[in-house]
Amino acid sequence: MSSPKLPYRFLGTTGVKVTSLCLGTMTFGQAGIGLQDKSVIRPGQSNEQESHEILDQFVAAGGNFIDTADAYQSGVAETYIGSWLVKHPELRKKLIIATKLFIPMDYSDPNSGGLSRHHIMQAVEDSLKRLKTDYIDLYQTHMWDFATDIEDTLHALNDVVRTGKVHYIGVSNVTGWQLQKIVETNKKFGYPQIVSLQVQYNLLCRETEWELVQVCQREKISLLPWSALKGGMLTGKYKRGTVPTDPTSSRVAWVEEDPSKRWFESQPSYSEYANDDKYWALIDTMKEIAKKHNATVAQVAIAWLLKQPTVTSVILGARTKQQLADNLASVNVNLTDEEVKLLNEKSDIPMPYPYGVIDRMNKFLQRC
């Protein structure tokens, strides 16, 4: 496979350039994911050496943007990135490293998660130690916290920026009103604005467009989609009528065997799509488009995201070096406007009230 040159895009209005593909590291480390039971080993996870090889491969392809979280395997993913950085000190200043906080890190301590000042101050120090770095480029809240006053959270985040321990702030997993509230609160206090929103966005998750994409467009916030391949369901590797049965072969098969093993709510099982005609029609369309571009279905899924407004960098998930090579080559797939339109139609979902009526009436008004 030819080695792709990854293009750069601006991160929000920061002037910082990040590659349009970002390396996700949720697959680094083999046990738990901020869960109490750390004895649970999931398939599709990498040990330290494999994780370092994936980082090497990503950087060799020109990637400069890495996403992690304190909770990924309870600090293990950050630790692996840190031990890799120690081997490559010359790379640190060239990389944009993003991490997150919110998910409890120690279930014996009720204050080891959330977005309180108490936790933020501790979490920054812990992430810096694990990552073996003096600063975090992009520090992201992993989720909205209903217990903490958003003003308290943003005061504390502004403070960690002022110390230089964090360069930019981003958020993840929020609703439209929550995102706008964060933006307005930062404006009210004159704090540096958030630069990115990390949310699930893919051809099987278009709800993101109803509010979040619009806020990002209006406020010039970079959208960083996660689960571009819907945990494997947008790769074309699953066949209609063939239930994946080997739980060691893929995450989807592992969850299929026992849905209670699902470690985050968006990780699908095969059964959810097994009898969904619309899903199989979408996959067929993706296969046809992939064939025209001499590409893979996974590449088409990522290439579609790269064409969406406000998307700055798609966060890749890869279990193997071959999967990473496949996903990196998606930058070579330039979908036509007609292909994007067709994929939009095939993946379209009806907008519930009030989104649907607002959309329809505005389109009507534009035609008048």
Ligand X SMILES: NC(=O)c1ccc[n+]([C@@H]2O[C@H](COP(=O)([O-])OP(=O)(O)OC[C@H]3O[C@@H](n4cnc5c(N)ncnc54)[C@H](OP(=O)(O)O)[C@@H]3O)[C@@H](O)[C@H]2O)c1
CB of 365 to ligand X, least distance (A): 36
Applying the rule CB under 6 A, the residues between 287 and 326 that interact with ligand X are: 298, 315, 317-319, 323, 326
End-to-end CA distance of the chain: 51
Q: Would you say 205 and 230 are in contact if contact means Cβ atoms under 8 Å apart?
A: yes
Q: Judged by CB under 6 A, does residue 26 bind ligand X?
A: yes
Comparing CB distances to ligand X, the nearer of 221 and 252 is: 252
The span from the CA of 193 to the CA of 185, in Å, is: 9
CB of 320 to ligand X, least distance (A): 7
CA torsion sign for 264, 143, 77, 65 is: positive
CB of 27 to ligand X, least distance (A): 5
What would the x/- binding string for ligand X be over residues 251 to 290, using CB under 6 A? xx-----------x--------------------------
Comparing CB distances to ligand X, the nearer of 280 and 351 is: 280
Question: DSSP secondary structure string, 247-273?
Answer: TTT-HHHHHHH-GGG-SSTT---THHH
Applying the rule CB under 6 A, the residues between 336 and 355 that interact with ligand X are: none
The Cα-based distances of 246 to 29, 40, 204, 366 in angstroms read: 21, 17, 24, 52
CB of 72 to ligand X, least distance (A): 7
- Binds ligand X by CB under 6 A, chosen from 20, 30, 51, 227: 227
CB of 337 to ligand X, least distance (A): 25
Comparing CB distances to ligand X, the nearer of 97 and 160 is: 97
The residue range among 18-26, 46-54, 114-122, 275-283 that interacts with ligand X, by the rule CB under 6 A, is: 18-26
Q: For residue 351, with 0-12 CB atoms within 10 Å meaning exposed, 13-18 middle and 19 or more buried, which class applies?
A: middle
SS3 200: strand
Continuous segment of H or E residues that includes residue 300: helix 297-306
- Binds ligand X by CB under 6 A, chosen from 219, 232, 335, 347: 232
CB of 52 to ligand X, least distance (A): 16
Comparing CB distances to ligand X, the nearer of 104 and 362 is: 104
Comparing CB distances to ligand X, the nearer of 44 and 133 is: 44
- Binds ligand X by CB under 6 A, chosen from 198, 269, 310, 312: 198
The residue range among 152-160, 183-191, 222-230, 334-342 that interacts with ligand X, by the rule CB under 6 A, is: 222-230
Comparing CB distances to ligand X, the nearer of 90 and 265 is: 265
Q: Judged by CB under 6 A, does residue 24 bind ligand X?
A: yes
Q: Would you say 116 and 150 are in contact if contact means Cβ atoms under 8 Å apart?
A: no
Cis ω for the linkage preceding 354 (within 30 of 0): yes
The residue range among 54-62, 128-136, 212-220, 250-258 that interacts with ligand X, by the rule CB under 6 A, is: 250-258
Continuous segment of H or E residues that includes residue 153: helix 150-162
Continuous segment of H or E residues that includes residue 79: helix 76-87
- Binds ligand X by CB under 6 A, chosen from 195, 229, 286, 335: 229
Cβ-based neighbour number of residue 218 at 10 Å: 11
Q: Judged by CB under 6 A, does residue 44 bind ligand X?
A: yes
**Residue 272 phi, psi dihedral angles, 5° rounding:** -60, -30
The span from the CA of 198 to the CA of 75, in Å, is: 20
Q: Which residues of 306-328 are buried (b: 16+ CB within 10 A; e: fewer)?
A: bebebbbbbbbbbbeeebbbbbb
Q: Judged by CB under 6 A, does residue 67 bind ligand X?
A: yes
Q: Judged by CB under 6 A, does residue 228 bind ligand X?
A: yes
CB of 275 to ligand X, least distance (A): 21
CB of 361 to ligand X, least distance (A): 34
The Cα diameter of the chain in Å comes to: 63
> Which chain residues interact with ligand X by CB under 6 A?
24-27, 44, 67, 142, 172-173, 198, 226-232, 235, 237, 250-252, 264, 298, 315, 317-319, 323, 326-327
